[in-house]
Amino acid sequence: MALPVKLQNDETVVREVRRHPAAVTLQIVADVIGGILLILLINWLSGVVPSLSTLWNIAYVVVILGALLIGFVAVYRYRNDVWLITNQRIVDSVKTSPFNHSISSTDLINVQDIAIQKKGILATTFNFGDVVCQTASTKGNFTFRGVPNPTQLLEEVDKLRYAARRSTGPGSV
């Protein structure tokens, strides 16, 4: 796969990070459950007010198409979102659709704080979560969402940040 950015002089990719498949699956399951609940609500309302049967049929179609679109976007983002960790910087490349692509980058020396968040029993069981790298940039945070083994990723970014700060010399940070 082609990298979303051109590497700088003496820059090498240390790690390419993508979402954990379980995180994407859980997102899709939550969307399906929401769609089923909406269909059940529509079904109940159509029994309460049967005179609007055409409106209820339209609502069914809208809910089903919306669920399919949400599922497509989740799978598309899983395949196309990528975070790069190089020996010099972090690159966040997010594609929400074929027509919307944003890329953000920060030097490792600008990372001020790193935290992980595991939310829920499934995230703990399957060992995935978010790694949040706080910076002083206008973007503020670089968040690796739903990535496998977030503790290991935190340690790796922390080591690279330390090495980058040491290589720039005292007083330059």
Report pLDDT for 173. Answer: 47
Angle subtended at Cα 154 by Cα 97 and Cα 11, rounded to the nearest 5 degrees? 70
Q: How far apart (Å, rounded) are the C-alpha atoms in residues 106 and 6?
A: 14
Question: pTM to 2 decimals?
Answer: 0.74
What integer is the mean pLDDT of 40-44? 84
Q: How far apart (Å, rounded) are the C-alpha atoms in residues 128 and 21?
A: 9
Report pLDDT for 152. Answer: 93
Percent of the chain having pLDDT more than 70? 95
